[in-house]
Structure 1
Amino acid sequence: MRPGLRDVIDAVRARERTLTVYASDASLADALRAHFASQNVRVRHEPLESGVPRVEVSERGRVRATVDASSVSDFVADDPPLKRVGEDVAYREILEAVDDATFTACDVDAMLHASREIEDRAWRADRGTLAAGFQFPAAFEAQRHTYEVLASGGLDVHVFVPGGLDDPVDEVTVHEAAARRVDPWFVLYDGGGERPQKSALLAEEGVLGQFYGVLTYDPGLVDDAFAALDLPHG
């Protein structure tokens, strides 16, 4: 049986990262624990009697990055957005190391913002395949103009809508989802032949309008998501 989108989410969930803080006290560990509370990151504190305080990121016992604790302290104090990976800062390694393990809780506005990030990336490239799932037909209708614009150039655009659409959209391939609602919410872009541009948003709705999912730029995970939808992709 072909893996589904929930299998991709479960694969991300399984990628728990551990941040181990080697420091004389637990204050930095506590701050990091609070900062990453909604993400798939475990924080540990190891007392340090001598040496330079540091933070290690590990996955299944393998160290992925080591960063001086002072730069991480600045990161927590300033509270910048998690995705400042492209900036030339010392704690960039920490963000890069946890990026493909991010499993966050967010509201509808945050989900729309993340969707827009991927749609904008695809629009600027104007090539490749963009796919999106809409939980209800009305959700697509609210975004109809956006997808008309996205499909007006070189993008191959696919949308999944429960029951399909009564009024088709030029140049958009509409897939009639069998379920009464599309779940999980997803927006996928195959990068248009550029692996660094691959991106995917996958999220399930929980309680009180919160969504739990991943915004990932891991090419393998993006390919898995496209394969789950049985869509051709680059």
Structure 2
Amino acid sequence: MSDPVEDYLSSLAAALQGPKRTKARMVAEARGDLNDAVSERTRAGLSYEHAAEQAVREFGTAAELVGSWQRELTIAQARHTARAVALTVPFVIVCWTLLQRADDSFWHLPRAAQHLAIVSAAAAVLAAVTLAATGTLSRWFPTPDRLPLTIAWAGTAASMSMAIATLALALSAALGTDWVLLTFACVLAAASHALVAGSARSCRRCARLITDL
């Protein structure tokens, strides 16, 4: 026989998108509240099944909770993406600077890749703004509705510039003399791309969900 509480929590978790730890914490808190409600009713003489059904019914339908919970998860995902951008982009920019000083062949890289490094820098600035707007400033000002989608696309743009930079650095490593430093920068850019691209993709998905609510 299925458990009404676990069935309810499973449907709720399936409807939510966002950082795994945050979602797991929210579902665990809901499980704790429901278990307390069920225990209170069983002590009053109800069977577990009836107590669980009653507790779930009074807790609210999954559809009713998804709206507010998804907004919280979307903000959490936006912060996750902003942190990923803020932490990785500066390292990539430092690599470009080091390469500029270490090897003249750096300037043989496509100009487009150098311009895309500026895009990454702009995304890092926006990431810092996002962290502030969803952190300390959120105590006094509401988080703009479009901010999660904005940082999602900024992260996407930054990840694309990292991908192009990775290809350019790989080519330079193959043709240049200081291939050790170039290879290190290439690996760092590739890892940064993977981290930011995945987080930005999840952020876009979350932002679309709250738009549809």
The two structures have a TM-score, normalised by structure 1, of: 0.26
| More strand per residue | 1
| More helix per residue | 2
